[in-house]
């Protein structure tokens, strides 16, 4: 009888050990960079050839949440797994996360860089490990990208600038810039300045970084409003900054007196346009970007060569057509 009990206990221990090794629902281990990497689509923590490593600059922005959702939903339909890493807008964190993806030998890395220059060493390491790299929304300024998927940010900045000039007609305006060093900030600023330089009635009296962040933009806009109380318009390189500018304008008692144009068409901005607090925004399609990135990853894994550049259409959103984007 005692021998039977010992044998039974031994078999039970073997069963528990086996379960612990194959259990599902893993959220992934934290990456070397300090930010967490989470799994979706049944992804295991160890990566693998059918796993996409998705390195996002931040998930503290609805635009990138929607982009992530696009990757995950499309990848799931294609039978791919996704490991998601939130860079928390910190370059060192994102570099560590990509290093983690390389160590795990994921099949493809999709990156939305915190910094287009700073991300280059990570792209080069992935190149050396023969892991294809796809950039979305923001480019990497070095290394080899299998494909770059983004809105035409220069065109979007030009459309935003043309709209601001049209609405302001004459007077002084300001620009709130994104994270210095990112391709999105550079290209949107370039397009905006093309619109400004194409006429002489509207002048930019201040252009300062607010890092694509609403709270930072609130502080920057408040300071600019004190220095330039006569401004008639604001172009913010994303909607989070535009909404921060709206808060600053309201706090200064100038609500409805200053025209604000943003970029991204996030839900809060669409609501602000309906309420008359913002005049316009540029609609990107982050879900389509994410879906396109996942399909491109699938193509790469299947040996297909994707286009080097995959532009995603942008559109002007105003009170007249805002309902189409909700």
CA–CA gap between residue 247 and residue 253 (Å, rounded):
10
Question: What pLDDT is attached to residue 181?
Answer: 85
Taking CA atoms, 202 is separated from 91, 161, 173, 177, 230, in Å, by 36, 10, 7, 18, 13
pLDDT tens across the length of the chain (326 residues):
444 443 443 344 433 333 333 333 322 222 333 345 665 543 335 567 799 999 999 999 999 999 999 999 999 999 999 999 999 999 999 999 999 999 999 999 999 999 999 999 999 999 999 999 999 999 999 999 999 999 999 999 999 999 999 999 999 999 999 999 898 999 999 999 999 999 999 999 999 999 999 999 999 999 999 999 999 999 999 999 999 999 999 999 999 999 999 999 999 999 999 999 999 999 989 999 999 999 999 999 999 999 999 999 899 999 999 999 98
Question: What pLDDT is attached to residue 211?
Answer: 96
Question: Taking the C-alpha atoms of 43, 48, 50 and 51 in order, what is their torsion angle to the nearest 10 degrees?
Answer: 50
CA–CA gap between residue 171 and residue 137 (Å, rounded):
32
Question: What pLDDT is attached to residue 49?
Answer: 79
3-state secondary structure of 150: strand
Question: What pLDDT is attached to residue 276?
Answer: 97
Q: How many CB atoms lie within 10 A of CB 21?
A: 7
Question: What pLDDT is attached to residue 36?
Answer: 53
Taking CA atoms, 321 is separated from 153, 234, 270, 324, in Å, by 21, 21, 10, 6
> Which residue(s) pair with 53 in the sheet?
83, 109
Question: Taking the C-alpha atoms of 8, 9, 10 and 13 in order, what is their torsion angle to the nearest 10 degrees?
Answer: 130
Beta carbons of 174 and 231 less than 8 angstroms apart: yes
* Owner of token pair 């909607």: 239
- Scanning 59-182, the segments in alpha helix (DSSP H) are 62-77, 91-104, 120-128, 153-168
Question: What pLDDT is attached to residue 38?
Answer: 63
Any idea how long the chain is? 326
Question: What pLDDT is attached to residue 39?
Answer: 59
> Which residue(s) pair with 259 in the sheet?
233
DSSP string, 3-49: HHHHHHHHHHHHHHHHHHHH------PPPTTSS-EEEETT--TT--T
Burial class (CB within 10 angstroms; exposed 0-12, middle 13-18, buried 19+) of 246: buried
- Indicate left, alpha or beta for 143 from its phi (over 0: left) and psi (-120 to 50: alpha): left
Strands 281-283 and 315-317: antiparallel
């Amino acid at each position: 009888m005692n021998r039977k009990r010992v044998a039974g206990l031994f078999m039970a221990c073997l069963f528990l050990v086996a379960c612990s090794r194959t259990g599902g629902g893993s959220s992934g281990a934290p990456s070397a960079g300090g930010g967490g990497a989470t799994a979706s689509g049944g992804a295991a923590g160890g990566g693998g050839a059918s796993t996409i490593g998705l390195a996002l600059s931040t998930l503290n922005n609805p635009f990138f949440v929607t982009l992530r959702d696009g990757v995950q939903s499309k990848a799931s339909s294609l039978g791919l797994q996704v490991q998601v890493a939130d860079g928390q807008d910190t370059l060192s964190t994102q570099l560590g996360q990509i290093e983690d993806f390389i160590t795990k030998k994921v099949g493809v890395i999709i990156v939305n860089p915190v910094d287009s220059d700073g991300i280059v060493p990570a792209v080069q390491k992935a190149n050396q490990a023969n892991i294809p790299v796809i950039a979305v929304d923001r480019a990497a300024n070095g290394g080899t990208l299998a494909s770059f998927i983004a809105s035409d940010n220069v065109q979007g900045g030009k459309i935003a600038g043309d709209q601001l000039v049209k609405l302001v007609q004459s007077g002084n305006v300001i620009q709130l810039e994104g994270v210095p060093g990112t391709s999105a900030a550079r290209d949107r600023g370039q397009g905006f300045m093309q619109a400004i330089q194409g006429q002489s009635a509207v002048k930019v009296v201040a252009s300062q970084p607010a890092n694509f962040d609403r709270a930072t933009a609130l502080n920057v806009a408040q300071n600019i409003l004190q220095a330039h109380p006569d401004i008639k318009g604001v172009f913010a390189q994303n909607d989070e900054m535009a909404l921060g500018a709206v808060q600053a304008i309201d706090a200064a008692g100038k609500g409805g007196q200053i025209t604000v144009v943003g970029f991204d068409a996030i839900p809060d901005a669409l609501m602000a346009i309906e309420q008359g607090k913002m005049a316009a925004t540029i609609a990107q399609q982050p879900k389509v970007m994410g879906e396109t990135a996942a399909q491109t990853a699938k193509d790469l894994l299947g040996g297909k060569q994707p286009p080097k550049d995959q532009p995603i259409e942008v559109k002007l959103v105003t009170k007249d057509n805002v309902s189409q984007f909700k």
